[in-house]
Structure 1
């Protein structure tokens, strides 16, 4: 019996978080925050929040992240908000990334919403 080959690479959540953090850092994402929401959020293990310098920067962060995921055959579920670029949400299944314009980040206060979670120290260059 032939085994079915996997379409996507198996990668642990901490390893995926490290990769995504590096990709966002390479493209100068501002104030990258990761919060462990395991047991608090029913749809994800980690929520990431980052700021962008403008709409094109936000779109570039999203494009770069999804492009790298595709290149490395790492599964993701989808994206919302790309057209306006005010708040782009990337759903990587176990990680949800919110890319905000700075004023929207303050207004929606996603970090405050998940304050029960544990902030994760990221190993990025900045």
Structure 2
């Protein structure tokens, strides 16, 4: 008897766009999706999103976890949820960075991944 697959079989790009839509549903701001597959040994796609405050950042992260569970999207770990200033959500081949604006500017992940192609959003 075949056991059902635990996680959805979708491409990293499709997963990143799905996650970007989940973030948009909860009013995540300035969502940027970067294809880092050729530059990173850790992940294929990186998403950076701004939150209006720590409560909003935590709500965005919680929404991602809820949606991932509903849609059988693999979730590995989360860091920074307690403080809510920079929350990292690891969805295996997609990493999500939820930032307060001032920290987003300070760490400048988009600058660090300047060579990474941006994935156009269809929100």
The alignment's TM-score, normalised by the length of structure 1, stands at 0.93
Unaligned runs of 5+ in 1: none
Q: Distance in 2 between matches of 1:45 and 1:27?
A: 24
* Aligned length, in residue pairs: 123
Three-state SS of the structure 1 residue aligned to 2:23 is helix
Q: Distance in 1 between matches of 2:37 and 2:73?
A: 21
TM-aligned CA deviation for residue 90 of structure 1: 0.5
Alignment RMSD = 1.0
TM-aligned CA deviation for residue 5 of structure 1: 2.8
TM-aligned CA deviation for residue 16 of structure 1: 1.1
Moved over 4 A (4+): none
For residues 83-107 of structure 1, the C-alpha deviation after alignment (integer angstroms, 9 at most, x for no partner) is: 0001000111111110000000000
Any residues of structure 2 matched to 1:54-73 within 5 Å, and which? Answer: 54-73=53-72
TM-aligned CA deviation for residue 12 of structure 1: 1.6
Q: Over alpha carbons, which structure has the higher Rg?
A: 1
Unaligned runs of 5+ in 2: none
Q: Distance in 2 between matches of 1:38 and 1:114?
A: 11
2:45 is aligned with 1:46: yes
Q: Distance in 1 between matches of 2:2 and 2:26?
A: 39
Q: Distance in 1 between matches of 2:29 and 2:100?
A: 10
